[in-house]
A and B are shown apart, each in its own frame.
Chain A
Amino acid sequence: MIAALLKVTDLTVVHDGDGGERTLLDAVSLDLAPGEVLGLVGESGSGKSLLCRSLVRLLPSSRLRISGGSITLSGRELTTAPEAEMLAVRGGEIGMIFQNPSSHLDPVMRIGDQITEGIRFHQRLDAKAARAAAVDILAQVGFPDPARQYDSYPHEFSGGMRQRAMIGAALSSNPRILIADEPTTALDVTIQAQILRLLMDIRARRGLSVILVTHDLGIVAQVCDRIAVMWQGRLVEIGEKRGLLAAPAHAYTRSLIASHPSLPEEDMPAKAEKLRAPGAVPVVDIEKLHVRFATGGLFRRGAVDAVNGVTLRVMPGETVGIVGESGSGKSTLARAVLGLTPVSSGTIRFDGADIASGRAVLGMLRRQTAMVFQDPYNALNPHLTVGKMLAEVLRVQGKIETAQIPARCGELLDLVGLGRAFLDRKPRSMSGGQCQRAGIARALAVDPKLIIADECVAALDVTIQAQIVELFRELVERMSLTLLFIAHDLAIVRNLCQRVVVMHRGVVVEEGRSEEVFSRPKHAYTAALIAAVPHIDPDKPLLAPSKMATPQADGVAN
């Protein structure tokens, strides 16, 4: 084995709090060879990001400190190096990119200047040479017109291009190691595939070592050489990816693999299809719906068709998934169904009644539908206990007697698997998954005909995602719920929904039974979407059909 470029031995980070010391990283050891890609996986709070920050000694709080262990970079000790030396290490030897390029790029500084900054500081080039070098880097990370785009600001680019710019800024000082902390989590699948290809391409060209932090096992299976699994601040398992995925040693790794919603290859056993009574009234009947948003100011008007002629029918008891990339109009569609967004043309009928026909219908709609939101924590009132929150909904709803409300609250918590002890808990003391269960209990309290779940698992860890999806599956079966499930994660939709609707730029491009759409997509966009999902099996390569990473392939043209 080649000598390690970076060697971490028994690294321990503690938090000095009011209640004494808390160990956040517990004797973590790993090494990284030149040119190697190491995948670092684990749930939120497992210490993945903290480990990355510790490597360059950028701890997110002054109460955190490295209390033991060592980090050596080519034989040099970093834990005790003076701050001036660390400045040269950061950027110059270890570059970092982050999850959210929108918040990590300076909004008031030109893209090119953010790259030039590092070049000038680390390589001491003059302004002109630095600009030329930055233009070169912009070209390398896939900007089609780097000389002109140098002078653009971050907000003028899409999320994928911003991530390319951030990679460019990290590469500006020729680091030998690149730490990528969830670099594609905020991106759509097709863009994610492009960015991963770009990272691998750069690794190959520059001989970079990469530490790739992610919660998605599919990504590590596709792009990494070795995998390290973190759990509760400890590194519980590390090894070559095929061996580790085939024979996971630690219980957490096993549950992580089991809960990965990878797209199954062969047809799953057909989901129990409910018999549809002939002539039943659809719960939601959308016809030629257009939702147009005005853009521009007083003097220069334009319009964007967020939803452009969508026709969709949801029958009672059906579970319909709506998938598509950000900006495809899926959330706008959901908001329109709830009467939260003015409709430009077309009709939406709820249970046979046109929701545009008056306040009475809108009132009925709101009493009989419920929404589950993306951010489980912020969707709950922080001042109310779960019990009070549910009681409030039941009281306003007025469907059951006041005396029976407490009993009903308990039942609802049983339904979502939260146990009655949660009646007195506030969101602050609950985990993301528990908050989302409370959110679902609140939706069920309405006793709704229709539940709309908008990206309701996107903010949760993989193992929790699997639990919530399982909960929805149970509820749908037990209570014959009608569910409109909006998600960008194709695998989850395939696992949960009988029918799937694929949206692209405001239009439904494909619709049908999940098994059929996913195994035999008819539309090129659906096919591209499916092909871009990283598979947990390393031998089902994502990157093989190597159309080189081109930003122009931003969504596939018909």
Chain B
Amino acid sequence: MHRYKFVLYRPLQFLPVLFGISVITFILVRLIPGDPARVLLGTRATPEAIARIRAQYGLDESMLAQYFYFLRNLADGEMGRSILYKIDVLKLIATRIEPTLTLVLCSVVLSVLIAVPVAAIAARNQGRLADQVIRIVSTFGIGFPPFWLGLMLIILFSVELAILPVSGYGNTLSEKLAHLVLPSLTVSLSLSTVLARSLRAAMVEGLRSDVATAARARGMPESIVFWRHVLPNSLVPTVNLLAVNIGWLIGGTVVVETVFALPGMGQLLVRAIFSRDYMVVQGVAMVFACATVLINFLADIVTVALDPRVKL
């Protein structure tokens, strides 16, 4: 199985990438105007109190020294303390990661479940009514911003029909899932349109390909031609598109979590930025970056599994 050997050595390439990301987030966070100590203590804080807080969090030292502490803490498995929440950033993230992770996971699964059949229907009825309808609807899907879509879904399902909760997150599994239905739907309505379009284009090409002709010439019925030959060949380019979009989606949870008041990482990030909670912003950015790198790595593995020609 030497085609999968890259799984062992590819992570080595992550190290320089993550190092670069840490430098950039570190600098960018500190370029945000404002002083965390002042935000923390309020407008009437004495200069002495501010200085004390700044010293406590190492904010009075040079950028280079601060970055050095940041790296040293990282090596110890810590990301510093949150100024606002007064606990270790990593522990803080741990309490917030679940809703975000579940949201992304549900959205991706739902998107694929929507995109594959929709693309299949459109491709197999190319140019006919079903294809036209799908194209128009998906154009709307791409056009509507997710926050607006989310609000509309809330109005329809939670306010009018009252079958799903408006916002927040529950305690039991069923409560949690019920709270995730609308956010996931919001995300996947936009994501699935992008996927479906790319998938449809690949399928239309696949249906005209020599591979399909050869299968038909062997007497294969159209359903076998489609599901066994066209679909597997169409998935390859779509997997990479999906990976890129999941990366974007992780950042996009900020909006959706805000609309649905989900206590996830996105919400944490927004609050941390407003209160200049450097350590938290840094930590969340690092986690998002790691997740994006990891997802592209997973996409590479899936691509290798789907296409025997690919060597990485």
Instruction: Flag if B308 contacts A155 (CB, 8 Å).
Output: yes
Interface majority SS on B: helix, strand, loop or mixed?
Answer: helix
A169 interface residue (CB < 8 Å to B): yes
Instruction: Flag if A98 contacts B308 (CB, 8 Å).
Output: no
Nearest neighbor of B312 in chain A, beta-carbon distance: A297
Instruction: Flag if B217 contacts A91 (CB, 8 Å).
Output: yes
B216 interface residue (CB < 8 Å to A): yes
CB distance from B49 to the nearest CB of A (A): 55
Instruction: Bin chain A's interface residue count.
Output: 20 to 34
Instruction: Flag if A117 contacts B218 (CB, 8 Å).
Output: yes
Instruction: Flag if A105 contacts B211 (CB, 8 Å).
Output: yes
Instruction: Flag if A95 contacts B211 (CB, 8 Å).
Output: no
> Binary interface profile of B, 212-255, with partner A (CB < 8 Å = 1, else 0)?
01111111110010001100110010000000000000000000
Interface residues of A in 71-95 (CB under 8 A from B): 87-92, 95
Instruction: Flag if B307 contacts A108 (CB, 8 Å).
Output: yes
Instruction: Flag if B219 contacts A98 (CB, 8 Å).
Output: no
Taking CB atoms, residues of chain B closer than 8 Å to A92 are: 219
Taking CB atoms, residues of chain B closer than 8 Å to A173 are: 218-219
CB distance from B260 to the nearest CB of A (A): 39
Instruction: Flag if A118 contacts B218 (CB, 8 Å).
Output: yes
Partner of A121, one of B9, B209, B210, B224: B224
Given contacts A58-B213, A297-B311, contact A106 B229 (CB under 8 A): yes
Nearest neighbor of B311 in chain A, beta-carbon distance: A297
A122 interface residue (CB < 8 Å to B): yes
Partner of A89, one of B6, B219, B220, B233: B219
The distance in angstroms between the C-alpha atoms of A298 and B13, with both chains bound, is 12
CB distance from B234 to the nearest CB of A (A): 10
Taking CB atoms, residues of chain B closer than 8 Å to A106 are: 211, 214-215, 229, 232-233
CB distance from A106 to the nearest CB of B (A): 5
Nearest neighbor of B209 in chain A, beta-carbon distance: A103
Taking CB atoms, residues of chain B closer than 8 Å to A105 are: 211, 214
The distance in angstroms between the C-alpha atoms of A108 and B211, with both chains bound, is 11
Nearest neighbor of B230 in chain A, beta-carbon distance: A106
The distance in angstroms between the C-alpha atoms of A60 and B211, with both chains bound, is 13
Interface residues of A in 84-139 (CB under 8 A from B): 87-92, 95-96, 98, 100, 103-109, 117-118, 121-122
Instruction: Flag if B229 contacts A90 (CB, 8 Å).
Output: no
Instruction: Flag if B219 contacts A121 (CB, 8 Å).
Output: yes
B65 interface residue (CB < 8 Å to A): no
Instruction: Flag if B217 contacts A100 (CB, 8 Å).
Output: no
Nearest neighbor of A58 in chain B, beta-carbon distance: B216
> Binary interface profile of A, 18-49, with partner B (CB < 8 Å = 1, else 0)?
00000000000000000000000000000000
The distance in angstroms between the C-alpha atoms of A109 and B206, with both chains bound, is 14
Instruction: Flag if A91 contacts B211 (CB, 8 Å).
Output: no
Taking CB atoms, residues of chain A closer than 8 Å to B218 are: 90-91, 95-96, 117-118, 121, 169-170, 172-173
- Residue of B9, B213, B218 most packed against chain A (CB within 10 A): B218
CB distance from A138 to the nearest CB of B (A): 16
Instruction: Flag if B232 contacts A117 (CB, 8 Å).
Output: no
Instruction: Flag if B211 contacts A103 (CB, 8 Å).
Output: yes
CB distance from A246 to the nearest CB of B (A): 35
The distance in angstroms between the C-alpha atoms of A413 and B309, with both chains bound, is 45
> Binary interface profile of B, 170-204, with partner A (CB < 8 Å = 1, else 0)?
00000000000000000000000000000000000
Instruction: Flag if B211 contacts A121 (CB, 8 Å).
Output: no
The distance in angstroms between the C-alpha atoms of A100 and B213, with both chains bound, is 12
B306 interface residue (CB < 8 Å to A): yes
Instruction: Flag if A90 contacts B307 (CB, 8 Å).
Output: no
> Binary interface profile of A, 298-329, with partner B (CB < 8 Å = 1, else 0)?
11000000000000000000000000000000
Instruction: Flag if A96 contacts B217 (CB, 8 Å).
Output: yes
Instruction: Bin chain B's interface residue count.
Output: 20 to 34
Interface residues of B in 1-28 (CB under 8 A from A): 5-6, 9
A422 interface residue (CB < 8 Å to B): no
Given contacts A108-B232, A108-B233, A153-B309, contact A56 B217 (CB under 8 A): yes
The distance in angstroms between the C-alpha atoms of A170 and B224, with both chains bound, is 17
Instruction: Flag if B229 contacts A88 (CB, 8 Å).
Output: no
> Binary interface profile of A, 145-167, with partner B (CB < 8 Å = 1, else 0)?
00000000101000000000010
Partner of A107, one of B215, B220, B307, B312: B307
Nearest neighbor of A155 in chain B, beta-carbon distance: B309
Nearest neighbor of A118 in chain B, beta-carbon distance: B218
Taking CB atoms, residues of chain A closer than 8 Å to B220 are: 87, 91, 117-118, 121
Taking CB atoms, residues of chain B closer than 8 Å to A118 are: 218-220
The distance in angstroms between the C-alpha atoms of A103 and B9, with both chains bound, is 33
Instruction: Flag if A117 contacts B228 (CB, 8 Å).
Output: yes
Instruction: Flag if A88 contacts B219 (CB, 8 Å).
Output: yes
Taking CB atoms, residues of chain B closer than 8 Å to A170 are: 217-218
Nearest neighbor of B235 in chain A, beta-carbon distance: A108
Taking CB atoms, residues of chain B closer than 8 Å to A104 are: 210-211, 213-214
The distance in angstroms between the C-alpha atoms of A170 and B233, with both chains bound, is 21
Nearest neighbor of A296 in chain B, beta-carbon distance: B311
Taking CB atoms, residues of chain A closer than 8 Å to B216 are: 58, 90
The distance in angstroms between the C-alpha atoms of A109 and B307, with both chains bound, is 9
Given contacts A117-B224, A117-B228, A169-B214, contact A107 B308 (CB under 8 A): yes
Taking CB atoms, residues of chain A closer than 8 Å to B228 are: 109, 117
Partner of B217, one of A95, A108, A297, A298: A95
The distance in angstroms between the C-alpha atoms of A357 and B290, with both chains bound, is 49
Nearest neighbor of A153 in chain B, beta-carbon distance: B308
Given contacts A117-B224, A121-B220, contact A166 B214 (CB under 8 A): yes
CB distance from A363 to the nearest CB of B (A): 38
Instruction: Flag if B309 contacts A98 (CB, 8 Å).
Output: no
The distance in angstroms between the C-alpha atoms of A89 and B232, with both chains bound, is 26
CB distance from A178 to the nearest CB of B (A): 11
The distance in angstroms between the C-alpha atoms of A173 and B217, with both chains bound, is 11
- Residue of A88, A100, A104, A166 most packed against chain B (CB within 10 A): A104
Taking CB atoms, residues of chain A closer than 8 Å to B233 are: 106-108
Partner of B9, one of A58, A153, A299: A299
Nearest neighbor of A156 in chain B, beta-carbon distance: B308
The distance in angstroms between the C-alpha atoms of A297 and B5, with both chains bound, is 11
CB distance from A334 to the nearest CB of B (A): 28
Nearest neighbor of B13 in chain A, beta-carbon distance: A298
Instruction: Flag if B210 contacts A98 (CB, 8 Å).
Output: yes
The distance in angstroms between the C-alpha atoms of A87 and B215, with both chains bound, is 11
Taking CB atoms, residues of chain A closer than 8 Å to B217 are: 56, 58, 90-91, 95-96, 98, 170
Taking CB atoms, residues of chain B closer than 8 Å to A56 are: 217
Taking CB atoms, residues of chain A closer than 8 Å to B209 are: 103
The distance in angstroms between the C-alpha atoms of A172 and B311, with both chains bound, is 31
Taking CB atoms, residues of chain A closer than 8 Å to B210 are: 98, 100, 103-104
A-B contact pairs, 16 of them (CB 8 A): A58-B213, A58-B217, A60-B213, A87-B220, A87-B221, A88-B219, A91-B220, A96-B214, A103-B209, A104-B210, A108-B232, A108-B233, A117-B224, A122-B219, A153-B308, A298-B9
List the interface of chain B (C-beta within 8 A of A).
Answer: 5-6, 9, 209-211, 213-221, 224, 228-229, 232-233, 236, 306-309, 311-312
List the interface of chain A (C-beta within 8 A of B).
Answer: 56, 58, 60, 87-92, 95-96, 98, 100, 103-109, 117-118, 121-122, 153, 155, 166, 169-170, 172-173, 297-299
User: Besides the contacts A104-B213, A153-B308, what 10 more A-B pairs have beta carbons closer than 8 Å?
Assistant: A87-B220, A87-B221, A88-B219, A107-B233, A108-B308, A118-B218, A121-B218, A173-B218, A173-B219, A298-B9
